[in-house]
A and B are shown apart, each in its own frame.
Chain A
Amino acid sequence: MTKIDLKDDHAVVIIGSGAGGGTLAHELTRRGVKVVLLEAGKRQSLDTFSQVPGEAFGQLTWLDTRTQSGNWGVARDFPTLPVWHCKTVGGTTVHWTASAPRLQPWELRAKSSYGKIAGTSLIDWPISYEELEKYYIVAERRMGVTRRNDMPGLPASNNFKVMYAGAKKLGYKQVHTGHMAINSRSYDGRGFCIQQGFCVQGCKMGAKWSTLYTEIPEAEATGNLDLRIESTATRIEHGPGGHINAVIYRDISGQEHLQKARLVCVAGNAIETARLLLLSASPRFPHGLANSSDQVGRNYCHQITGFVWGIFDKPVYSWRGATLAGVVEDEVVNDPRRGFAGGYRIELVTLDLPTLPLVGLPYGWGRDFASIIEAYRNLAGMFINGEDLPRSDNRITLNSNVKDAFGQPVANIHVDEHPNDGAMRKHAQGQMSRMYEAMGAKRVVVGPTPPATHNLGTARMSTDPREGVTNGWGQTHDIKNLFISDGSVLTTPGAANPTLTIVALALRQAEYLSQQMKVGNV
């Protein structure tokens, strides 16, 4: 195990070991850079992943208190769990369902594509699709994404057969088992998918890409990584010139440590990344780090979702098989005739029996509610992943009334839905209902919006420093040696599940960073 001295001010400190932080750690260490990787959670492995759904949830989920406000359905339906992401080595790549589509060129030009929409803070990305594409190609190869390069598609599950038939009845053309970061064949020293259906509990085959057992061990093998688990960053420090020089963190016993740093990359998931910047306020930066624009924490996006279940008179056994391996991509277009801006993906989904009544069904009890679960064998499922539009007041703030275990204010998540969100969800749930009805469903159940798993935009990239927090490299506009390396930097969310984009941006950031370090700019 490599140890980097607390006083070593040549170290790069990365906070968070998920898609962004884990990938960046690998990319920097393999170029010879010494990295301290701080991870708040414990380290699990293929052997320790629990396959009891509730236990796995407790093992992997970030359960520290958050508060929330606003009119989104999640505040009503899941008051204590607004967002569902991980606190473990590998971050949210441990429980993700591995859907890895690309953003579309027009999605990176959101404001130009959609025009001015009242009540939004839309801007265009500072980088082009052509620029991003180069890194998508590398990321897809790295992660073994299906239906890209030489990786074949995943085979069709029962649940997908229902989706496919319904989609074709409605005339959809782009319907397949998805671009999944799940090995359909053994690849990169990892086995192939055996269709367990336990993607969310941690893939015991390691067929699903996760930084836990790809990027992080590779980074460790370079001898340049000092991974510190159960280490929660509480503050980023700067010197008199405003340059970042250290990170303060607490270990599991609550003991405080100060790690000197040459530069710091924050990748704590969009909620905690914004919170940490705000918590690090100082006399020089009274509103938090990198926040002269007052954009830190604002423009929080989570992507539109919502379940639809079809109950059939024959069995589906939807729990058998890769959870999300199916997609309809025809609605990933910007067609204002549908009554909303932006696109959405229809994606295959299922939930294990214990989770279905808690997350997948609308509030209820009694005979009617129970009758849906009675039909569990015969249930087919889908949901959407659609673009939500950034709004200045949908934001992460510090809630001084509620403190965490270390006595620091927790994050409050405020989301007021834009009319565009509801219009998109209604259209999508209507289309999915028609798909199941076309296949003879006895009943269609429209479910709620689950806790947000895609947390984006709270330190967004912008060309104009007044409109965002970082430049096109994830480098903060205000502080040269402070970088953001997770989904916080996505300028707009688009309709693509975000992990592939986060990885592509981390690959690109690593190139820039090491070059900037070489020439002595940071």
Chain B
Amino acid sequence: MNSKLESGYGLNHAVAYRETQMDQLLPRREFLKTTTGLLTGLVVAGSPLALIAPGRAWAVNLTALTSAEAATLMVGARTIAPHDKLDDAAYALVVHSVDLDATSDERVRKMIKEGIARLSTGFANSVECDRVAALKRIESSEFFQAIRLKTLQVLYATPMAYAYFGYEGEAFSKGGYVLRGFNDLRWLPEVPLEDSGSVPI
């Protein structure tokens, strides 16, 4: 494997996390002058997103990619990390993060735009096995590796993913998990006290 096949933790890791925040999902009417494209979606009633979304519709402003490029990229992110019932808004934040990189770095912009262009025009509408085959063919490219890494860095750090996967996250503000299920597993026997310890409260 070459050095492009990076699992994840690295210098840009912390930066990617900052781009997972919900305030990137703007109410639809707010456009920026520099907008080059837009990704939009509706919040599905009863979905985890409905609990945390700012409104019934969301939009992501793009400042480097076109709407069509962003739509293709979003399908790419779904192919890399397919979670069928995870809301589009989570994948939109991946695209948003790529767009930010493409906005701030001319070389990255060129690399991303060329990478998207090289995927066949039918990519976004083709069936999953064809999409997987298309990505397999470019797996060793800088474009694919950048998209893969970005997907993993951003997608699973979104509030939508926390809710979807049942991850409860930060616990200090709620008194930890000591009274909230850290030892609530009942399908195995309890550990004898001499090999563990009593709960302090």
Contacts and interface: CB of A to CB of B under 8 A. Distances in A.
B45 interface: no
A81 B10 contact: yes
A93 B143 CA distance: 38
Nearest to A56: B14
Contacts of A355: 9
Given A320-B168, A366-B79, A196 B153 contact: no
B195 interface: yes
B101 to A, nearest CB: 16
B134 interface: no
B46 interface: no
Interface stretch (B103-111, B118-126, B170-178): B170-178
B94 interface: no
A146 B199 CA distance: 14
Interface in B121-144: 132, 135
Interface in B158-191: 161-162, 165-172, 175-178, 180-185, 187-191
Given A176-B196, A194-B178, A451 B167 contact: no
* Most chain A beta-carbon contacts within 10 A, residue among B14, B132, B156, B196: B196
Nearest to A184: B197
A367 B188 contact: no
B47 interface: no
Interface stretch (A31-39, A228-236, A368-376): A368-376
Contact residues on B (Cβ < 8 Å of other chain), bracket: 35 or more
B45 to A, nearest CB: 23
Interface string A60-94: 00010100000000001111110010000000000
B163 to A, nearest CB: 11
Nearest to B16: A54
Contacts of B180: 320
Contacts of B132: 366
B6 A376 contact: no
A162 B152 CA distance: 28
B183 A321 contact: yes
A196 B172 contact: yes
Contact of A156 (B18, B167, B196): B196
A220 interface: no
Interface in A84-108: 84
Contacts of A160: 191, 196
Interface stretch (B34-42, B66-74, B80-88): B80-88
Nearest to B181: A320
Given A319-B167, A352-B167, A451-B9, A51 B3 contact: no
A502 B91 CA distance: 45
A358 interface: yes
Interface stretch (A197-205, A280-288, A460-468): A197-205
A55 B157 CA distance: 11
A175 B191 CA distance: 10
A365 B80 contact: yes
B141 to A, nearest CB: 13
Interface string A143-158: 0001000001111111
Given A54-B13, A54-B16, A156-B191, A377 B3 contact: no
Given A51-B170, A80-B6, 18 more contacts: A51-B172, A54-B17, A57-B17, A58-B13, A58-B17, A79-B6, A152-B197, A153-B195, A156-B197, A161-B183, A196-B177, A197-B177, A320-B181, A354-B17, A357-B81, A358-B8, A363-B5, A366-B82
Interface of B: 1, 3, 5-11, 13-18, 20, 79-83, 132, 135, 148, 151-153, 156-157, 161-162, 165-172, 175-178, 180-185, 187-191, 194-200
Q: Which 9 A-B residue pairs are closest in the complex by CB-CB distance?
A: A54-B17, A58-B14, A358-B8, A194-B176, A153-B197, A320-B177, A51-B170, A156-B196, A158-B185
22 contacts: A52-B17, A54-B16, A54-B153, A57-B13, A57-B17, A78-B6, A80-B6, A158-B182, A161-B188, A176-B196, A177-B197, A194-B176, A195-B171, A197-B177, A317-B166, A320-B177, A320-B182, A321-B183, A353-B157, A354-B157, A373-B81, A373-B83
